[in-house]
Structure 1
Amino acid sequence: MQGEPIPLSALQHAVYCLRQAALIHLERMWADNRFTAEGTVMHLATDRPGQRRIKGVRRVSALPVASARLGIAGVADLVEFLPSPGGEVARPVEFKRGKPKAHRADAVQLCAQGLCLEEMTGHGVPEGALFYGETKRRVEVVFDAPLRALTEATIAELHDVFSAGRTPKPTPHASRCRACSLIDLCRPKAITRSARAFRDVALRSHLAEIP
């Protein structure tokens, strides 16, 4: 992969909304809402690098991870290294505010960490976990073939967007747009309506010229 590595956080944004990912990571736009503020507070503890061993499991927080093959890099909230006969097996754990979601944005970000750890350690990383602050529970995530394919496809899509240097047009999604902190900067409905209005005016003008 050429150019700067894709931030792992961009993958979560891209699955949620590719335009959001470009606004944040390409145009450097950002705005907080209650959800992003709660997420920031939740990560204050996990962002501190550290290491400890609990019941034979080595736990490393704020671990930098990267994949040269995929052109991605970031920091894993927590990586647990489980003992096994063939050597330690890594298991990434990502902390999220809220609760499990219907889409796979969180799972893709976590899977990308797993792909980085496979390249870094030389060992397979079969699964990871998402810990949600609202439910105070872990959700186990298996890095199966469909999830790995979705993760690599999202990475490739982001590389294309960043290489082109163009932010995708909005594709309004009612529930996701309402929850997005960038809605006032993105203005999905206004941009979509403007494009439609321009098309309608051009069409009327063309029809008026037809004898």
Structure 2
Amino acid sequence: MRIISLSALQHYAFCPRQCALIHNEQLWAENFLTAQGNALHERVDSGEPETRKGVRFERSVHVSAEQLGISGILDMVECEIQTGKLKPVEYKRGKPKPKPSDEIQLCAQALCLEEMTGKKVEEGALWYMQTRHRHPVIFSAELREKTLQVINEVKTLLESGITPPPNYSKSCKACSLIDLCQPKLLERDKSGKYVVGLFWE
């Protein structure tokens, strides 16, 4: 079974084509936004474990869920010392998104923690640098179902080796792969239909 990274789930929820370009075609490009995000995660990951007010803060936690075929590194896991309650915390550069891509990635982190520890993880949090605010995320049955659906869809996509065609939208402007993806150009490209028409009509 191919083990897929937690980041692939977030990439897929944002854009299936982006997911295939990064994880199948091994394409990557930096822009200001990704560089800013990398700097944020370097600061978070470099912190030492600490305990405050009865909560243990563990950073750069390696997790996996073999039954689901996913693995990754969590920015932070908070553990209540008295109860053992676990809470994954993910740090993001921007602000909350209209699509639940970040929530799906965070929920997958919780699924990894549950498989590894046998403990129920009920909630987590997303911290956004742009808003400087923490957003709580409840791992509801609906979010869990959506996350499992995305995991299966990502597996199917990556095992197929097929990169989906572009679907240009406003979110493409913020994608670091826009020059490699060329969504506007390829969306207008009708050469495939032209060739089919030459030989089959």
Q: Give the structure-2-normalised TM-score.
A: 0.94
Amino acid of the residue matched to residue 186 of structure 1?
Answer: C
Query: Are 2:120 and 1:124 aligned?
Result: yes
Preserved contact between residue 15 and residue 154 of structure 1 (Cα < 8 Å): yes
Report how far residue 34 of structure 1 moved: 1.2
TM superposition shift of 1:106 = 0.7
Query: Normalization by structure 1: what TM-score?
Result: 0.89
Deviates more, 1:159-168 or 1:28-37: 159-168
Q: Which has the larger radius of gyration?
A: 1
Structure 2 counterpart of 1:192: 187
Between the aligned partners of 1:124 and 1:7, the Cα distance in structure 2 is 22
Aligned-pair CA distance for 1:159 = 0.7
1:176 has 2:171 as partner: yes
- 1:79 is paired with a residue whose SS is strand
Deviations 1:43-98 (A, max 9, x none): 112223732111000110000011011100000000001245xx401100000011
Partner of 1:42: 40
Q: Partners of 1:48 and 1:6 in 2: how far apart?
A: 25
1:205 deviates by 7.3
Cα distance in 1, alignment partners of residues 60 and 200 from structure 2: 59
Runs of 4+ in structure 1 off by over 3 angstroms are 200-207
Letter in 2 for 1:98: G
Displacement of 1:193 in angstroms is: 1.9
Q: 5+ residue gaps in structure 2? A: none
Map residues 128-207 of structure 1 onto 2, 5 A cutoff.
128-173=124-169, 175-194=170-189, 196-200=190-194, 202-203=196-197
Deviates more, 1:139-148 or 1:160-169: 160-169
Once residues 198 and 21 of structure 1 are traced to their aligned partners in structure 2, the CA distance between those partners, rounded to angstroms, is 23
Identical aligned residues as a percent:
45
Aligned length: 201
Quote the Cα distance in structure 1 between the aligned partners of 2:86 and 2:26. Answer: 32
Task: Kindly provide the CA deviation profile for residues 109-159 of structure 1, in whole angstroms up to 9, marking residues without a partner as x.
Answer: 111101101111111001100000111110000110111111111111111
Is this contact kept in 2: 1:50–1:62, CA < 8 A? no
